[in-house]
Chain A
Amino acid sequence: MALTYDQAIELYEPTLGLEVHVELNTNSKMFCGCATEFGASPNTQTCPVCLGLPGSLPVVNAKAIESSIRIGLALNCSITPFSRFARKNYFYPDMPKNFQTSQYDEPICVNGYLDVTIDTDEGPKVFRVEIERVHMEEDTGKSLHVGGATGRIHGAEHSLLDYNRAGIPLVEIVTRIVPGTEKYAPEVARAYVAELRDILRSLGVSDVKMEQGSLRCDANVSISPRGTGVLGTRSETKNVNSLRSVERAVRGEIIRQANRLQTGERIVQETRHFQEESGETRSGRSKEQAEDYRYFPEPDLLPIVADPAWVQELKSALPEKPSVHRKKLQEAWGVPDKEMSAMVNAELLDTVEETVRLGAEPTKARSWWLGEISRLANEKAVAPTSLIQPSEVAEVIALIAAGELTDKLARQVVEGVINGEGTPAAVIEKRGLKVVSDDSALMVAIEAAIASQPETAERVRAGNIPAAGAIIGAVMKATGGQADAAKVRELLLKHLGQG
């Protein structure tokens, strides 16, 4: 009988470690002037340097150094006074020089941390994730394996190489092991990557698109039998392409490892690949035999000595931390913790903020995005933000506030926008959804309703206000629901001397 997650956690204590690779959004590559645009035709963004042609030499991209330092500062790291590039030597067809220019024992930023907040059974709890190092390196090219069934190298007839990605600046952010997460390890992992992504986005240093690979997470997981205090053998899970996958991958790995140990098998130190469909990981390259990369300082580049005054300048110009910004928003909006974390977890906080910025009332913006729009997105199995723009939602909310749409009509408008019928204004026009707000037109309907219910009207005149409901209902029915009920009520009561 296989262990469930809860059973696994009861028997074993998980330990987490995360390595995040971030593609910087510099205009040019790490060591040459080639463009970095995503999706260009293969091998069109290359030159002698990033192709590793004989005789070519690297020159460091100053912007990449600046971005790396800013990332380090935002993660509370120390900026090292002297850092160096090193060569990591190994052969791979998509690596032009057969060594990667990276940082090894002298990284640019060290000893930072990032606090993340998790909803636990005991309420919100802060976990501190310690950052060991932030270092710079260059990306490799890409291999495309052609002719096989799986697109993998095994069984392929031939391979194509695209070096557009070779030399794109990468920053690797490595955590220390994160102890004590207990059953929240998957949530901590996800929250860490989410928080990191928000920070990187606020710094403007990367596109941080996990699905495009501009932010990649490797999750290192090990477990140890409770009470032993001995760290277990870790696995390194790659191919984790969304925040949800980070959480699933860690959870899946804890379950897998627990079940192996439970049946007397050992954990193999290896790379594993996350499978999006099953949520499980599949065995990759063994790391039992530590590969010898024969690191040595890159002789073609000078050490990086960051001027402390410049670092200070970068530090004082850092943008507000996303966590601080969130707190400010929460206070300004008057939203309870639970609703705030609902927005964060749904990855809709930025969207709601944008909608509010465009004039919507925060509570309304939140309830539209997390309610109706999320519901429709769920039905279609897509992201809410892919359905409708914040500006369109803000427009709808404004129309409700102006009394030009009722909530019920507004839902139809939103549905129309999502169906591709155009902007809210266009949908209203096409579907004829305008609220009847013309007083004289409404008065005609009201008078007709009074005429058909004279006794009820008399009761209202005599002070029985609740009796007005029947007449209002008749007016609404007569106008096909397009009248604003509040307005009808107001006009009716005034007409009957109760306004």
Chain B
Amino acid sequence: MTSDLIVFLVLSLIAIASALGMLFSKNAVYSALFLVLNFITVAVFYLLLGAPFIAMAQITVYAGAVMVLFLFVIMLLGAESLAPSQALPWQKPLAFTLALVLVVEAVYIILSRAQLTAAVASPDASLNSMDSLREMAMMLFNNYLLPFEVTSILLLVAMVGAIVLAKQEKVGLK
């Protein structure tokens, strides 16, 4: 158990450091790279909690697909370093207020529901097996079928929208 704790602490440090690095990098590409590091750390957290499927999905979807697209856009637009004077005046106080609310809320939940951590600390051993995947699929396609379908329609609409926006008008091309 102590080795798990050590791993957890080291990973937490990496996660926090990479999140801070993402926020304070001047260059957008470095920000994106720090975010990738953060995503991978979070995936290792999932592994520690005994959820390999979610860990691998996290890496594939977020670190692999989404962030590569981010990098792609940053590089394509040449937006590595924007001028720093574009911040809106009311942004900073609002961000600090919201962050404070979030911290207070998180502390309250951790203190008031200490039994939550006990449930997390002892992951079910059966989660590691293929059965858990099967159960997850059963849940997804039986109990939560409607939300799943709604999400896929949402994504489809977004995709169609992107294609419509990107489509070039063919003018006088015979």
Decide whether A and B are members of one complex: no
User: Contact residues of B with A, CB < 8 Å?
Assistant: none
User: Contact residues of A with B, CB < 8 Å?
Assistant: none
